[in-house]
Amino acid sequence: MENNVKLILHWSVFVLAVAVTTGWLVLCFAYLSRLGWDGLMSLEPGALAATLAAAAGPPVALWLILVVTAQRQELLSLKRAVLDFGLAIRRGQDHAESQRRALLEISAASQRQAAKDGLAVTLDDLASHASVVAERLGVLEPDGIAQAWERYGSGDRWALMRPFIARAAAETDFGDRLAGALKGDAVSQLAANAFVRGLDLLRGDGVAGEQKLIHEILEDGPVAQVGRLFTKEAAVVAESDGSNADEDQADNGGDQSVSIEDRLGPQPTLFQPESKTA
């Protein structure tokens, strides 16, 4: 609407200027026609120049004013257009910056979710290994294993590791008997070793190391205590296996045809309630 009004105003001024100029030229021709060609040529050069300047001066001045005014309007329009263009560029930059921040937030959220999912999978794997050791060595009864898994599913991530800590605190010879049981059951020993390796990999994960609470849990929490317990017993088992291997080799005279059952040892040694200390 505003542009239409400006256009009508410009055309009105132009038509008015043309009309004024035409009227002025008609008046000048009428005046000069009264003088005639002879009268015009009879004028002195200065008078002739003044007459012609007086005739052409007003139209020239009028159109010069109109041209200057139009140029001024064009410059103002160009200035507004440049300002609008700069404002559009600034808005585009702000929009791009907002999108960049949104993408960074989405990426950070994705990384946090991936780290959370990876940590959950790792804890599930550690709990599975701890469950294997607890079930095969009799640290927990079958009903206790089921209840521990129920607590684990409800959110208690240490339900399958806490029995080891409780038995170690209540029984002074728990570590020795655990070493003997691990020595006697290759499956439990493999599960304990897998637990320790998983814990080491989790500690070496950069994402977990950046979070102070997770780092503290991995260093001093239940999973770390069970890991230290398995690491200690694994060292005892390795030393005992080395001495037994030397003795077996000496007894068998270097015979390499030992059956796989002999190498794995006897069946699991379960912890008996009467071996507990007060």
Task: Work out the average pLDDT over 245-256.
Answer: 44
Q: What percent of the chain has pLDDT over 90?
A: 5
How many structural domains comprise the chain?
2
Residue 88 is predicted with a pLDDT of 92
Within 10 Å of residue 126's Cβ, how many Cβ atoms? 23
Domain boundary among 76, 103, 130: 103
Domain boundary among 103, 128, 143: 103
Instruction: Answer yes or no: do 29 and 52 share one domain.
Output: yes
Which one, of 131, 159, 134, 153, lies nearest residue 222 by Cα?
Answer: 159
Instruction: Output the six-digit token pair for 161.
Output: 């590791």
Instruction: Answer yes or no: do 185 and 259 share one domain.
Output: yes
Q: Given its phi and psi angles, is residue 249 left (phi above 0), alpha (psi -120 to 50 degrees) or beta?
A: alpha
Position 4 confidence tier, pLDDT thresholds 50, 70, 90: confident
Instruction: Answer yes or no: do 207 and 98 share one domain.
Output: no
Instruction: Answer yes or no: do 205 and 118 share one domain.
Output: yes
Within 10 Å of residue 26's Cβ, how many Cβ atoms? 10
Domain boundary among 61, 76, 103: 103
Identify the domain containing residue 140 by its residue range: 112-275
Instruction: Output the six-digit token pair for 218.
Output: 């991995």
Which is more confident, 266 or 246?
246
Residue 83 is predicted with a pLDDT of 92
Position 274 confidence tier, pLDDT thresholds 50, 70, 90: very low
Residues 206-230: tens digit of each pLDDT: 544 456 777 777 777 788 888 877 8
Instruction: Answer yes or no: do 259 and 209 share one domain.
Output: yes
Q: What percent of the chain has pLDDT over 70?
A: 79
Instruction: Answer yes or no: do 98 and 205 share one domain.
Output: no
Instruction: Answer yes or no: do 155 and 268 share one domain.
Output: yes
Q: What is the DSSP letter of 275?
A: G
Angle at 53 between CA 52 and CA 55, to 5 degrees: 65
Q: Under 8 Å CB-to-CB from 58, ≥6 apart: which residues?
A: 24
Distance (Å, rounded) from C-alpha 164 to C-alpha 247? 32
The pTM (predicted TM-score) of the whole model is 0.50
Residue 259 has pLDDT above 50, yes or no: no
Position 263 confidence tier, pLDDT thresholds 50, 70, 90: very low
Instruction: Answer yes or no: do 88 and 23 share one domain.
Output: yes
**Greatest mean pLDDT among 85-89, 156-160, 188-192:** 85-89
Instruction: Answer yes or no: do 137 and 208 share one domain.
Output: yes
Residue 1 is predicted with a pLDDT of 64
Residues 19-69: tens digit of each pLDDT: 988 888 888 888 778 777 777 677 777 877 887 788 888 888 888 888 888
Instruction: Answer yes or no: do 124 and 99 share one domain.
Output: no
Q: Which residues of 147-165 are buried (b: 16+ CB within 10 A; e: fewer)?
A: ebeeebeeeebbbbbbbbe
What value does the mean pLDDT of the chain take?
76
Instruction: Answer yes or no: do 36 and 167 share one domain.
Output: no
CA 210 to chain centre: 15
Q: Residue type at 148? A: A
Q: Are the C-beta atoms of 161 and 226 separated by less than 8 Å?
A: yes
Instruction: Answer yes or no: do 98 and 143 share one domain.
Output: no
H or E element: which one contains 106?
A: helix 45-136
Which is more confident, 229 or 269?
229
